[in-house]
Structures are given as structure tokens and as C-alpha cells.
């Protein structure tokens, strides 16, 4: 039976292009865990420039990038104000150039374990 959804680590630094393509070809939803990359690209110049132009936070820009890619997102915050901020991210509008600027941030950096080498204890 084909899975409906696959939850994978996915952030601006780990864009998972081939896996997203594979999911799309099979009609599966890609769901991003650690979607903010635990903040590791909040200070990237491309993100801060877009955020400054839109009057948004880096986290909002990244969450909107996920949405524009058609991804389901599991973001986490323990702070009520940041939760509200994150929930408002869909109100932003990113241009094609913004999406391109974020696309170049991919460098393969993971926050979690690599499924290729993950060992079950």
C-alpha cells in the first residue's frame, strides 16, 4: 500500500529536491520536519533581505517558502507570540526571485539523523 504522506527533514539548507519529486510522481504529500532548520538559516543574507523587504520575520519567510513548494509543515515553538507569528506566514507573498534566492541556500546540512546511516538501537 502506498503511503499517503512521508515526513522528512526539510529546510532551506536541506531541500530534498529528489525526494520531493519522487513523492510528487507517486501522489504523496511531503511533510517537513525541522522546517526552520532550528534557525540555522535565519541569518542568511537572502532570508534577512526578503524578511526586511516584507516586514516579516525570517521564520515566516521560511514557512511561506515551504507552503509555496506545496509542502505540509510541522513547525514547533514553545512561545505563544512566535506561534502566532508562524501561523500568519501564509499571508506573505514571495516572488519567483525570492524562491530562487532561498533555493541556493541548500548545502545538505542536517539537524537530525541521516536515514542512510540511521541505526535502530
Stretch of residues binding ligand NAP (CB under 6 A), selected from 17-25, 75-83, 90-98, 101-109: 75-83
Binding mask 8-47 for ligand NAP (x = CB under 6 A): -------------------------xxxxxxx--------
Q: Answer for the pair 98, 73: CB distance below 8 angstroms, yes or no.
A: no
In whole angstroms, the minimum distance from the beta carbon of 77 to ligand NAP comes to 3
Least distance (Å) between residue 7 CB and ligand NAP: 5
Helix H or strand E encompassing 92: none
Helices first, then strands: H and E counts in the chain: 5, 3
Give the three-state DSSP class for 85. helix
76 contacts ligand NAP (rule: CB under 6 A): yes
Instruction: Say how far apart CA 20 and CA 26 lie, in whole Å.
Output: 10
Q: Closest CB to ligand NAP among 18 and 78?
A: 78
Amino acid at each position: 500500500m502506498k503511503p499517503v504522506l512521508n515526513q522528512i527533514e526539510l529546510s532551506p539548507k536541506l531541500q530534498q529536491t529528489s525526494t520531493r519529486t519522487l513523492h510528487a510522481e507517486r501522489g504523496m504529500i511531503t511533510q517537513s520536519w525541522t522546517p526552520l532548520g532550528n534557525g540555522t538559516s535565519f541569518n542568511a543574507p537572502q532570508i534577512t533581505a526578503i524578511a526586511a523587504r516584507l516586514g516579516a520575520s525570517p521564520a515566516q519567510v521560511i514557512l511561506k517558502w515551504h507552503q509555496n513548494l506545496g509542502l505540509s509543515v510541522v513547525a514547533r515553538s514553545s512561545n505563544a507570540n512566535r506561534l502566532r507569528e508562524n501561523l500568519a506566514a501564509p499571508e506573505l507573498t514571495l516572488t519567483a526571485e525570492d524562491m530562487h534566492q532561498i533555493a541556493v541556500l541548500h548545502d545538505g546540512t542536517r539537524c537530525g539523523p541521516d536515514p542512510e546511516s540511521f541505526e535502530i538501537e
